[in-house]
Structure 1
Amino acid sequence: MTTTTALPASTPSAPVDPSRWPDVARVPNVPLRAAAAARVLRRVAARRGLRVDLPGGRTLQPAPPGAPVLRLHRPRAFLHRVGESGLIGFGESYQAGEWDSPDLVALLTELATAPHTLVPPGTQWLRRLYVQRPPAAEVPTARNARRNVHRHYDLSNDLFALFLDRTMTYSSAIFPTGPDGAPLATRDGLPAAQHRKIDRLLDLAAVGPGTRLLEIGTGWGELALRAAARGARVVSLTLSEEQLALARRRIADAGHTDRVQVRLCDYRAAEGRYDAVVSVEMIEAVGRPFWPRYFATLDRVLAPGGRVALQAITMPHERMLASSSTYTWILKYVFPGGQIPSLRAIEETAARHTRLRVTHADTWGPHYAQTLRLWRERFAEHSPEVAALGFDEVFRRMWELYLAYSEAGFRTGYLDVHQVLLTREEAGR
């Protein structure tokens, strides 16, 4: 049985508001599960070579020099949270200030490497004690999707402007590469890298003068602007009112209102026929049950001879299947209703439900790790401005963890990002 014990606030400087963060303010009392979590922590630290620092200058056990550090400020609260809800509790414990690390990305990268090996063999059944299914209110139906989008993308345009570059592009960039193939990522080079990504997608979709282009997922309008500059006529769909307002303003300022329409519209309600469809990191919000409808929509609106260019965050197929019904910390706090596909799932869903076929795919995972690094560094530098916008310390720690966790996922290959071209074999050809 789970009971609740009232414990002191996580940090004297920033007490947790229980009305805003009920599950962060609440510390569970689950002694047996906490004891099991302590055994798992000791095993993970030994197998992964982590240093676990405890209050009073103690360490959990010896660790090699240079080991990633998990610094526990309140071990009891940490163990009870992890014991009750696994990785959700791990994230909530960070939000509460109960643990940190001098190099958060290094720690999370180690934990994200082969994550299925963290729990001892023979004890996987214990996951049933804490793994939850996503709540019905967050399943991205036509009714719920707008609310899911609102919770993330309508936080504040000013917030996103603090850590994105001047293009206001919130997806992986593509950087130049060095002789070893590694991305050469610098902050000054981020706008050009975002344009390189956008231009590559527009090239995949063969967007040029006179192209009728549908964009599903407007963002803040940069792709639509570059397509209009090529002479295309663009219809762009979004469910974010904040993005809608700023994208329209940017398009007007650039003098492209005659070429670009931005509509507040669900992808399922898309109308018209288009020579090209482009969608950048939007499929992750569609949800696995609705992937057939998403691809059917692409097929329905695509004119004969048309091309679809997608940019999608992906994960290995077996990991996708294993996690597709699991409620995670990211889903609870950052991207409600989301589901990351695999490249295989994209290929199979399109082939099973439409006439579209994947004809080309490129992978850019290391570039996303570097993009996230630049965003994370800017977010940390602008922490006072984030606070001035009204976001409390729990929120700021939540975003620190989200950006670092995502970066670690791409560094390890647990996550990837693909640019995919889909074309249609026309009847009679």
Structure 2
Amino acid sequence: MSRPRGAVIDADRWPDVVAVPPCSAARRTAGRFVVRHALDRLPLQVTMGAGERLGTGGPLLEIHDPDSFLRRVAAHGLVGFGESYMAHEWDARDLVGVLTVLAENTATLVPPSLQRLRSLWAPRQPAEQRNTPSGAQANIQHHYDLSNDLFALFLDGSLSYSAALFDHLPAAWPDLEAGQHRKIDRMLDLCGVGHGTRLLEIGTGWGALAIRAAARGADVHSVTLSAEQRDLARERVRAAGHQDRVRVELCDYRQVRGRYDAIASVEMIEAVGAEYWPTFFRTLDSLLAPGGSVALQAITMPHDRMLASRNTFTWVQKYIFPGGQLPSADAIEETARAHTGLRVTACEGFGAHYAQTLELWRERFAQQDDSVGDLGFDATFRRMWDFYLAYSEAGFRSGYLDVHQIQLTGQGAGQ
């Protein structure tokens, strides 16, 4: 089945979406077996072209071009699965529902015999995505410097791009900004921010946490690697009247110097990379004043799945967050304990709230489709972004992903 009319894909911008990858006959045969074996036992309704039907019933997954779909998955696994969606080779009326079923069964989609050989067939993260100081800046700018106007189209007025904490579920769009403020306030409470607190924020976003901390009387040093975020955050700080209490800098966390009574970081550890987790926690330890606390908000995954997939190159890393790596809650605790004097003293998950947050963002993004196009983002980008939001929501709905607010306290060797 050809792509829908009007779905012209820019080959220069999206070369791996336009081109179906070459794939050996043996690999195609193996891929076809794995895909059919996996889909046929899942609670899905799967149509493969005009004839074949798979699945045990559930959300509808329509594969319009089975040959291209199977070649992509056989050649590039889940990267190919996402690219096949971007290429309109498959569709789902309930995209989140389909992806949730797949997320619930991630650990068993590939037979155990092939799982053990994962290092041989799974694509690996490119060396250029390593989070060295220069690599980290390029990785962050790839996503966060897309356009402030783009993010403003689907985020609430606080411009918070992380999980909200609602006072009830389900929640609606009018509840979102209050939920974001509730999340920030709990973070500030976790690290004891009040009048006169010297607060370091690692990962500025667009300034929401810094502004609320300054309103409590804190003196805030906020660092980011996104020039667009820095500039708008500074504007928002000035508009809120807190420019004397908040300093926003373009700076890698490894370059920060000084001592702080509290450190807060919201969903930034996902961009650190497992290779640099020890460096990240040693940096926190060296910057924290005696008696201080760290508050982290982190997207997490189960420890066993983190270990199984940590060296795999994913669709999200290729198209959305280059260099990203989700930790487990265990990995955070173990890394801090092994490399610092910091200890986890509180840890609370609220994954269902992230699923709700993502649902609201996805609905809003769909409503703003024309406006996104007016900013210069083509139809393939918009389809990619919808897939990213749905993919993420499904991760939280299935329990494959969670989000935690974590408090760390203690004295390290550098204090």
**Into which bin does the TM-score normalised by the smaller protein fall?**
over 0.9
What corresponds to 2:160 in structure 1? Answer: 169
The answer for the alignment partner of 2:46 in structure 1 is 52
Q: SS at 1:337's partner residue?
A: coil
Q: Which of residues 226, 243, 255 in structure 2 aligns to 1:240?
A: 226
**What is aligned with 2:92?**
101
2:39/2:55 contact within 8 Å kept: no
Match of 1:210 among 150, 175, 196: 196
Structure 2 counterpart of 1:287, which letter? G
2:286–2:412 CA contact under 8 A, matched in 1: no
* CA shift for structure 1 position 185: 1.6
1:150 to 131, 141, 144: 141
Q: Distance in 1 between matches of 2:96 and 2:26?
A: 30
Q: In the superposition, relative to structure 1, how do residues 310 and 128 fare at CA in structure 2: closer, same or farther (>3 Å)?
A: closer
Residue 386 (1) aligns with residue 372 (2): yes
Q: Report the CA distance between 1:273 and its aligned residue.
A: 1.0
Matched, 1:26 2:19: yes
Ranges in structure 2 where 5+ consecutive residues have no aligned partner? none
CA distance in 1, matches of 2:56, 2:102: 15
Q: For residue 383 of structure 1, what is the amino acid of its counterpart?
A: D
Deviation at 1:42, TM superposition (A): 2.3
1:123 aligns with 2:114: yes
Match of 2:405 among 419, 422, 427: 419
State the distance in 2 between where 1:62 and 1:288 align: 36
1:77: which partner in 2? 68
The number of residue pairs the alignment matches comes to 412
Structure 1's unaligned 5+ residue stretches are 1-7, 178-182
Moved more, 315-324 or 196-205: 315-324
Native 8 Å contact 2:42 2:55 kept in 1:
no
Equivalent in the alignment of 2:7: 14
- The 5-angstrom pairing of residues 180-219 of structure 1 reads 183-219=169-205
1:113-163 Cα shifts (integer Å, max 9, x gaps)? 131211234333564554121111101111101000010000000110111
Moved more, 33-42 or 339-348: 33-42
User: RMSD in angstroms over aligned alpha carbons?
Assistant: 1.6
Instruction: Give identity over the alignment, percent.
Output: 59
Aligned residue identity for 1:15: V
Q: Given the alignment, which residue of 14, 33, 36 partners 2:30?
A: 36
Report the Cα distance in structure 2 between the residues aligned to 1:405 and 1:85, rounded to whole angstroms. 17
Q: Work out whether residues 265 and 296 of structure 2, in 8 Å CA contact, stay in contact via their aligned partners in 1.
A: yes
Aligned residue number for residue 371 of structure 1: 357
Structure 1 position 307 matched with structure 2 position 300 = no
Partner of 1:273: 259
C-alpha separation in 2, matches of 1:299 and 1:129: 38
2:336 alignment counterpart: 350
Would you say the 8 A contact 2:285–2:411 is kept in 1? no
CA deviation after TM superposition for structure 1 residue 32, in Å: 3.3
C-alpha contact (below 8 Å) 2:46/2:61 kept by paired residues:
yes
Q: Deviations over 1:220-264 (max 9, x none)?
A: 000000000001010000000110111000001111100000000
TM superposition shift of 1:9: 7.2
